[in-house]
Structure 1
């Protein structure tokens, strides 16, 4: 239920922002300042109406600590205990493992997971990251194909992963506009200071999007886009290359 609610909230938020961006005409750079204000007001009104339709009175989370808890998968830190006491070992293991992926140095969750592994009925198939994104799964599949020297599958999986990574990055940046640090509002009477402070919190979030997406199954792979091409160039080469023969291009399998 928690994952479904979170996913629905994010999808609806992204949908609202995209819809309002399409509907509102962007003011030109040469337009007077009042035109910019009008554009902002129109977007704000559109978002308010859309979010009201989507979420009712529960439109946003005002505490940044709540966002951080969700990003760090804090609910799973409690869910695995609840599941175990309900007699659901598989869900307890999945919840503990899901939390561990985002918090690999947490000693308590490591201890709990090791304890679950010693219970009757445990199997390695229970080690499922319930928050795994599509681009992560495809990246892992591509790395597996690379190790198995399945070059055609390697190309397909990494190209799909790259496409899904860009989609996730766009989604992350759109959601950043909903992650304003409201603490900057307190004690700041100047409008320009307020706007700059709130915008900076959004920019910081934007800057971290690709970094967060670069954590694949709990492991940081460095620059995510570069990591894709590092695999892809070799998989493409091993899959086939073009050689000129008698003035014709010939595809040669290696």
Structure 2
């Protein structure tokens, strides 16, 4: 998106109070007069954008963002609410297959009942391409430029910043942001409109850590962990939505295809929840949180909490020499600090997360290896053979 130069008089004195599109949002009490198919709202917004009807484009872009969040929140709520459906009930079937599908049917019944209470599921559902665009924050690219053209510079900056949090290397948006910085002090308006609670907690905790306030840093980082795992569970639940049938197959292959798509989505949750701090994604985010906690607890002389955090970190980076040395140190002085064997085990939430993410990746790899069609296997073998020939010739 190209930003033409503005004449100074266009923006001087036009500072307005930012009103985020989620200011009065609630998925439980979404206004019925705002409810419409997400794809229709977004399509209309882009039509207005092309026609340079900036105010109308902004209105419907913001509306489509609310509708997208509504769909995600309702989806996650129902799947979370129905995740244990049938598990507590005594199942009479002795056949393992019947037991499994009894749980499936009970969960399906729960989902049907739950979704019937949310009107968003009674209207046309968006295509996967549309949902992918929203996950990549593409609407904010348009919202940024539309607000700029409508002289809402502060909202344009926030939209640009929100887009860059997901796409930090986008050259055009970086150029636009640099241009905004030549117009006025943008610091106050660098607001991520899609920020999740754990992201701000992480940044706050790290700042406290850097000032040596380890007690406050621990408090916020522990809360950051809680919020992160909550968002992770919601992301997993949101992956269990509608499935687009691309071809008719026998029962079990069809179920496997659906599960494979769901599994791919769930594996993406880990990456999609990584926060962007200062233009860089925090790799191994869960491990990083435990790294900060380990050192902070150590500085507070709370070794009973430091050691489990070190063990938790090593789940994700088992060859880290410094953390391995820390564990040796803790074991050497275990009697001095009154540590028992449980203190050298990973924390339960870390172990659960590690096991789930590891099993998901192993399961997907299994499906790739053993569920390919004959044509896919031949295509893969041909591609591999051509690559080997190219390498030999090179």
TM-score relative to the length of structure 2: 0.56
- Structure-1 residue corresponding to 2:291: 230
Give the counterpart of 1:193 among 224, 228, 253.
Answer: 253
- Report which structure shows greater RCO (CA 8 Å, sep ≥6): 1
**1:16, CA displacement in angstroms?**
1.4
Name stretches of at least 5 consecutive residues in structure 2 with no aligned partner.
1-20, 22-61, 305-332, 339-394
Q: Deviations over 1:186-223 (max 9, x none)?
A: 23322221111110111111122122222333522222
The answer as to whether partners of 1:152 and 1:239 remain within 8 angstroms in 2 is yes
Task: Note closer, same or farther for the CA distance 1:198–1:248 as it changes in structure 2 (3 Å cut).
Answer: closer
CA distance in 1, matches of 2:176, 2:276: 22
Task: Note closer, same or farther for the CA distance 1:81–1:189 as it changes in structure 2 (3 Å cut).
Answer: same
- Structure-2 residue corresponding to 1:19: 81
The structure with the largest alpha-carbon Rg is: 2
Give the counterpart of 1:58 among 123, 130, 150.
Answer: 123
SS at match of 2:123: coil
Q: Deviations over 1:119-166 (max 9, x none)?
A: 2x4431111111111111111111111111111111111111111111
Q: Which structure is higher in strand share?
A: 1
CA distance in 2, matches of 1:34, 1:172: 29
- Structure-2 residue corresponding to 1:240: 301
After superposing the two structures, state which structure 1 stretch, 134-143 or 28-37, moved more. Answer: 28-37
Q: Does 1:100 align with 2:174?
A: no
The count of residues paired between Structure 1 and Structure 2 equals: 242
The answer as to whether partners of 2:202 and 2:224 remain within 8 angstroms in 1 is yes
TM-score relative to the length of structure 1: 0.84
Computed over aligned residues only, the root mean square deviation of the Cα atoms, in angstroms, reads 2.7
The answer as to whether partners of 1:21 and 1:43 remain within 8 angstroms in 2 is yes
